Amino acid sequence: MKAICFNFEIHQPFRLKRYRFFDIGRDHYYYDDFLNDDIVERVARNSYIPAAETLLRMVEAGQGRFRASIAISGTAFEQFEQYVPEFIDLLKKLADTGCIEFVAQPYAYSLACLTDPEEFQAQVMATCSMLKNRFGVKPTVLRNTELIYFDDLAPQIAAMGFKGVLTEGAKHILGWKSPDYIYTAASAPKLKLLLRNAKLSDDIAARFGDSSWAEFPLTADKYIDWIASTPAEEQIVNIFLNMEVFGDLHPATSGIFQFLEALPRFAAERGVDFVTPSEAISKIKPVGELSIMHPISGAGEERDTSLWLGNRLQNEAFEKLYSVAERVRQCDNRRLKQDFEYLQTCDHLFYMGTKQAIPFSPYDTPFAAFTNYMNVLADFLMRVEEEFPSKVDNEELNSLLLTISNQDAEIESLNKELTSMRKDIEQYNIEHRRREAEPEAEAPKATKARKPKAEAATDEKPKAKRKPAAKKAAK
């Protein structure tokens, strides 16, 4: 039986305020709270909240037959808590249904996977912790930032305990193969790959409201017919979308919410099921392995990382930021670590792109985005230098960090030894006090032991007196 695997991605960055050169060293707060509040609240009202309510109705109407998944970044979650906490309540209701799976992704929606495995793992684990604490769920599937994936990443993802990864069904990778199967990772055979069906996903995301499209208008029955008519052996169709598609990119007046809500009814008529990613992995057998040597993504025509790292401006900003990653991790400054997280969000690099027009950019030009970001980064680097001076090169820093690490280990070992010695001393004192008390307890016993000897001596004296009687008898 054929199944649809929906995944809705939710992300919002902490957008930067206008930060001038003269602010460097004076102002350490980088974010445009008014702009973030305005955008997050507007998108939540137009898109996130009505979309979540629609999903909740679909689950209830289908009595559990409709199933889907959601991925949410930590930076988005923090802003929802601050500006629209009612949306968090809706997400909790969706989690409680058991029909909506939450998949993990990097907390800051960063590109750390391309340069810093330690940072990548820390961010993924931070998202898992957030989902566990707030919704009581433990993700077993990962959706990396912008669906980025490559072979070298698979062993680390598998080692973190994930069973599957959502990524792009890029044509230059698949060749003649179809994205409508489950594959295994070539570098980690136990890790399963779910590939986005780009055409069917973009039919909703990019073409739903396009009146010049030959298939306009797109209706739920037509869409399900397309899916049902795919080859019978192709068991799964992965539709991965940004949730803003519903209500923001395509406004409610376009009928996008009615389209979404009608899908389960027509799917039931055509014998098409809905599954979550983890269900797909457990129920559907992989058809083979897939090797992806270079990073792919779900963005741009090339389906690579060039939208974020395609020019010199982007690469300079990216390299400068991660050049201090190890120093930031070793410091105890919580605010510095938080700024490092927020500055990693890939949106900042996306705004510097020159390959295509940048939608939703708060800047007039890519160069303006670069200038603003580098001013912020300059101040951030000055603060990092206060923790670990930049004159210390990487080799010296690594040696210093190793020394600090060894010292911590030595201190811990000494503390354990001290604890053990204290226990030994306490035990010695207990035994010493017991031994001192023993002679006092044994003294009466010694007196009693001498009494029989005294009695024995007394018995011997009468024997000596009886000797004359014996002699008289002899006579």
Q: H or E stretch including 8? A: strand 3-10
Distance CA 186, CA 46 (A): 41
Q: How many CB atoms lie within 10 A of CB 276?
A: 24
Burial of 356 (0-12, 13-18, 19+ CB in 10 A): exposed
What are 325's two structure tokens?
């990653």
Let me know if 146 is a catalytic residue. yes
Scanning the structure block, which residue is given the tokens 């207990």? 430
Contact 140, 164 (CB under 8 A): yes
**Which phi and psi (to 5°) does residue 282 adopt?**
-80, -25
Task: Return the sign of the alpha-carbon dihedral for residues 49, 343, 170, 292.
Answer: negative
In whole angstroms, how far apart are CA 97 and each of 77, 103, 134, 249, 292? 20, 15, 15, 27, 36
Q: How many CB atoms lie within 10 A of CB 232?
A: 9
State in Å, rounded, how far the first CA of the chain is from the last one: 132
Scanning the structure block, which residue is given the tokens 């023993």? 438
Determine which one of 78, 146, 244, 341 is catalytic: 146
Mapped onto helix, strand or coil, the DSSP state of residue 79 is helix
* 444 prior amide bond cis, ω within 30: no
CA trace torsion 294, 297, 303, 309 (10° rounding)? -80
Mapped onto helix, strand or coil, the DSSP state of residue 459 is helix
In whole angstroms, how far apart are CA 65 and each of 181, 353, 400, 445? 21, 42, 57, 86
Q: How many CB atoms lie within 10 A of CB 109?
A: 27
Contact 12, 43 (CB under 8 A): yes
What are 323's two structure tokens?
């050049």
Q: Name the β-bridge partners of 242.
A: 9
Cα–Cα nearest to 54, from 40, 62, 210: 62
Distance CA 228, CA 239 (A): 14
Contact 324, 393 (CB under 8 A): no
At residue 35, what is the residue type? L
Residues assigned a catalytic role: 146
